[in-house]
Structure 1
Amino acid sequence: MIQNFADWLVYGIFGIAADTHFGAALNFFVYDTIKIMLLLFSISLVMGVVNAYFPIDRLRTFLATRKLYGFQYVLASFFGAITPFCSCSSIPLFIGFVKGGIPLGVTFSFLITSPLVNEVAVAMFLGTFGLKVTLIYALSGIILGVVGGFILGKLKLEPMLSEWVRKVQATSQQEALVWQAEHTTFAKRFPTIAKDAWGIVKGVWIYVLVGIAVGAGMHGYVPEGFFESYLSPDNPFAVPVAVLVGIPLYAGATGIVPVMQVLVAKGVPIGTALAFMMATVGLSLPEATMLKKVMTLKLIGIFFGLVGLFIIISGYLFNLIL
């Protein structure tokens, strides 16, 4: 329905041709703005209800103190793999986790894996590259989330969350304690929960719009085949170059698989193409722009640097074994 509305508005009402750069970029902007805003509000609403009725503080304590031997990172990464979100669509749920006080490393495991792996992309990989490459792609995405989340969690980066996040967490915890003490009914709680959810949307909307605008520009104006000459098998630095040129772009896993297929068909090593795909869907400038509301620039740099390094290492390993 959202895509049909975007098509109707841009191509029908505005009369912009679908085969133009501006038309493609504007359609992308309208579609993603509506989708992500609705997703952000809905998830904030759900997390508000969860925080009001379930002991999030106990869950947080359980995840932070129990010896789960890393299983919490596996669960978060697996949950990320089964959610069909792109990098920007994953951020609302990431904010919800942070708001609920879930350990930061665990939330990073979800944020890393969610855009990299989803069932549609797995199906496309299976039909395009076969079972072996598909298994390597899916497992590597989950492992990347587990290892990345574990390392980021051990770095104790919570002080690098923004002041806005701390205020949201404090307000959420205070309201939960009051409601639990007073046994307030859901009908009385819901207006406050909805108001808080809308407050989160108002707090990040400008970052969302700027991020989507950057992604829309990349989507509409970057010409096809622009990067192929830089990713040849003769270039020993092709993998890091692929990651560096993939980060400014913005696309979902399902959208980038056909591009990856074209790159491989034109002689780009499959590990290099896979690294390009993972950087494009797992790290992007729009994602960094949205994360600026919840993280300091230093934390964003650490997150992008660590994940980017893992993707580069994975690309070289894939080129050796595939």
Structure 2
Amino acid sequence: MSSETQDTTPRGVSDGLWYAGLPVAALLWYALYSLLIPFSEWATTLFPVDRHSHTGEAIAFFIYDVPKVLLLLAAIVFVTGVLRSWFSPEKTRAILAGKREIAGYPLAAALGVLTPFCSCSSVPLFIGFVSAGIPLGVTFAFLIAGPMVGPVGLGLLYGLVGWKIATIYLVFGFTIATVAGFVLGKLGLERYLQDWVRELNAGPVGDLPEERLTFADRLRIGLEQMREIVGKVWIWVVVGISIGALIHGYVPEAMMLRIMGGEAWWSVPAAVAVGVPMYTNAAGVIPIVEVLLGKGAALGTTLAFMMSVIALSLPEMIILKQVLTYRLIAIFIAVVSAGILATGFLFNFIL
């Protein structure tokens, strides 16, 4: 298409309406996000169940988490779509190449540590990073660190076991995220991304030449990318969180106590195996950790369970399936599980 044709193509909404609509949309998004908790509590009361029963917990969790993750996904993909109009995949890769890419792993892990998201809430940022062409290993470092050593979990862990153990946990979690991201990045796994993600990275960011884009054009690009990505993954967000809600409402504490109450060598891998199919955030798993420690479970085993619950949850894997192939998900689980197992064994050995 020639530049003359591009200049005369009608664009529908005028630039002025885009500029005026952006702050309105941002305020609406913030209002909706801030009302999620009271809305979920109110909506749960409409069901003929006790709010504090297993079913009530599952319903409240589902009603809160689905719109939360979808709102986060929409906002993050929109913003990264706008930013991507300035930074093409080629430019992004160039910025993160060589030494800068090496620095990208701990920086991404540090960003994850500072981000108070659970695993499913971290997925939107992960998708945004991948779609922007940021190296896969760097995005994995963020995805691992975010739920595993976020500020909420660290704060609660500090109150439960003290600053020394909480600090050791932070160091181990940060190290796992950085090293696992580095390993995954060096394996050259980009070919195992879903086809539509690779095509998104390889394609142009808009119909107009990059240097001729107005800010309104960039907003249009962000909106189009949001529609494309959210349209592909929203159903899997709902499916994944549905499973997570059921598990969240029916946590098998008695079974976990039987598995993790002793210090047998197999207790650490057993705790990880039990934790992976479950789903809750750091705030939700800390009370379980407190019960397990109070019942005599080994600290390393308990922390390995905590890490696996919040870093390798089944709902997270279901959502990631829309971005990653099964082979890449399996590699991701294997690398992170190895780090979690090492952490559990070391904690049991030194404490």
Question: TM-score per shorter chain, which class?
Answer: over 0.9
| Aligned pair partner of 1:239 in 253, 268, 271 | 268
1:300 corresponding residue in structure 2:
329
How is 1:16-35 mapped onto 2 (pairs within 5 angstroms)?
Answer: 16-35=49-68
User: Is the contact made by 1:78 and 1:142 (CA closer than 8 Å) also made in structure 2?
Assistant: yes
How is 1:93-112 mapped onto 2 (pairs within 5 angstroms)?
Answer: 93-112=125-144
**Aligned with 2:113: secondary structure?**
helix
User: Is the contact made by 1:274 and 1:315 (CA closer than 8 Å) also made in structure 2?
Assistant: yes
Per-residue deviation, residues 165-215 of structure 1 (Å, max 9, x unmatched)? 1122234xx12583414x222224323421220221110011111110110
Kindly tell me: are residues 177 and 81 of structure 1, through their superposed partners in 2, closer, same or farther at Cα, counting changes over 3 Å? farther
1:71 corresponding residue in structure 2:
103
TM-score scaled to structure 1, two decimals? 0.94
2:226 corresponding residue in structure 1:
197
1:146 has 2:175 as partner: no
1:45 has 2:78 as partner: yes
Per-residue deviation, residues 268-301 of structure 1 (Å, max 9, x unmatched)? 0101000000000000110110111011101100
Shift of 1:77: 0.5
2:194 corresponding residue in structure 1:
162
Per-residue deviation, residues 241-287 of structure 1 (Å, max 9, x unmatched)? 00000001101112211211111111101010000000000001101
Shift of 1:128: 1.2
**Aligned with 1:95: secondary structure?**
helix
In 1, Cα distance between the equivalents of 2:223 and 2:232? 14
In 2, Cα distance between the equivalents of 1:166 and 1:29? 31
1:89 corresponding residue in structure 2:
121
In 2, Cα distance between the equivalents of 1:47 and 1:310? 30
1:184 corresponding residue in structure 2:
213
2:38 corresponding residue in structure 1:
4
In 1, Cα distance between the equivalents of 2:89 and 2:198? 16
Shift of 1:24: 1.3
User: Is the contact made by 2:145 and 2:174 (CA closer than 8 Å) also made in structure 1?
Assistant: yes
Shift of 1:56: 5.0
| Count of aligned pairs | 317
In 2, Cα distance between the equivalents of 1:191 and 1:71? 32
Kindly tell me: are residues 20 and 179 of structure 1, through their superposed partners in 2, closer, same or farther at Cα, counting changes over 3 Å? farther
In 2, Cα distance between the equivalents of 1:192 and 1:150? 31
In 1, Cα distance between the equivalents of 2:260 and 2:172? 21
User: Is the contact made by 1:164 and 1:293 (CA closer than 8 Å) also made in structure 2?
Assistant: no
User: Is the contact made by 1:112 and 1:145 (CA closer than 8 Å) also made in structure 2?
Assistant: yes
TM-score scaled to structure 2, two decimals? 0.87
**Aligned with 2:345: secondary structure?**
helix
Letter in 2 for 1:105: G
In 2, Cα distance between the equivalents of 1:126 and 1:220? 25
**Aligned with 1:175: secondary structure?**
coil
**Aligned with 2:252: secondary structure?**
coil
Letter in 2 for 1:255: G
| Aligned pair partner of 2:241 in 203, 206, 212 | 212
> Structure 1: which 5+ runs fail to align?
none
User: Is the contact made by 2:261 and 2:292 (CA closer than 8 Å) also made in structure 1?
Assistant: no
Stretch deviating more after TM superposition (211-220 or 19-28) = 19-28
| Aligned pair partner of 2:294 in 257, 265, 274 | 265
Shift of 1:118: 1.6
User: Is the contact made by 2:88 and 2:133 (CA closer than 8 Å) also made in structure 1?
Assistant: no
2:250 corresponding residue in structure 1:
221
In 2, Cα distance between the equivalents of 1:177 and 1:317? 54
Stretch deviating more after TM superposition (118-127 or 258-267) = 118-127
Mark the structure with the bigger radius of gyration: 2
> Structure 2: which 5+ runs fail to align?
1-34
Shift of 1:23: 1.8
- Structure 1 residue ranges (4+ consecutive) displaced by more than 6 angstroms after TM superposition: none
In 2, Cα distance between the equivalents of 1:26 and 1:164? 33
User: Is the contact made by 1:43 and 1:93 (CA closer than 8 Å) also made in structure 2?
Assistant: yes
In 2, Cα distance between the equivalents of 1:104 and 1:177? 26
